[in-house]
């Protein structure tokens, strides 16, 4: 009952959606992905810098997926998260029409990063299909490692 009584207060919640600041001289795009046994997800941040050197970062897009009913290993789920991230990065670049100075895809999975830097024909079918898609949508040199504790995509 207490929850129901407080529900009208949700109308007072507002989220600032301004992504770019005035007098922007460069804009970077940073994406993060992560996975767990329950699911995987990705989030995109846009990082503009103005002429005075002021930097801000704004969450732009988030997407998550529930893990399949068939048991899939955690490294494979991490790879699915990286594939989702590559897709979101591509969509963000098309939707915004912004020329990004730098694009970085972050993952806390070293196995996933190894797979992304490997030729798909050397991998098993599951990994090969996803790696080929990631490599088609992004450049493997854009993929970097982030500590799990610093990953904003971590649940």
Spell out the per-residue pLDDT of the chain, length 155, in tens. Answer: 898 898 898 888 876 666 676 788 899 999 999 999 999 999 999 999 988 888 888 899 999 999 999 999 999 999 999 999 999 999 999 998 888 999 999 999 999 999 999 999 999 999 999 999 999 999 999 999 999 999 998 87
Cα–Cα dist 142/64, whole Å = 21
Tens of pLDDT, residues 109-134: 999 999 999 999 999 999 999 999 99
Query: CA nearest 35: which of 83, 98, 86, 101?
Result: 83
Tokens of 108: 């806390």
Domain residue extents for the chain? 2-150
Give the ranges where 62-155 is alpha helix by DSSP (H).
Answer: 74-96, 110-116, 125-137
- Report pLDDT for 17: 65
Tokens of 51: 């002429």
Q: pTM for this one?
A: 0.85
CATH class of the structural domain 2-150: alpha beta
Query: CA nearest 29: which of 41, 50, 47?
Result: 47
Tokens of 18: 């301004």
Radius of gyration of the CA atoms of the chain, in A: 18
């Amino acid at each position: 009952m207490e929850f129901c009584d407080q529900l009208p207060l949700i109308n007072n919640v507002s989220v600032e959606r301004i992504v770019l600041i005035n007098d922007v001289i460069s804009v970077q795009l940073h994406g993060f992905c992560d996975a767990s046994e329950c699911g995987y997800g990705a989030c995109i941040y846009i990082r503009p810098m103005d002429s005075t050197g002021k930097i801000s970062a704004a969450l732009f897009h988030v997407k998550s997926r529930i893990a399949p009913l068939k048991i899939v290993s955690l490294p494979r789920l991490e790879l699915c998260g990286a594939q989702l991230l590559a897709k979101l990065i591509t969509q963000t670049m098309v939707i915004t029409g912004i020329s990004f100075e730098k694009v970085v895809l972050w993952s806390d999975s070293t196995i996933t990063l190894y797979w992304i830097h490997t030729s798909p024909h050397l991998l098993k079918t599951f990994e090969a299909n996803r790696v080929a898609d990631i490599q088609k949508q992004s450049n493997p040199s854009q993929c970097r490692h982030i500590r799990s504790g610093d990953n904003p995509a971590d649940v």
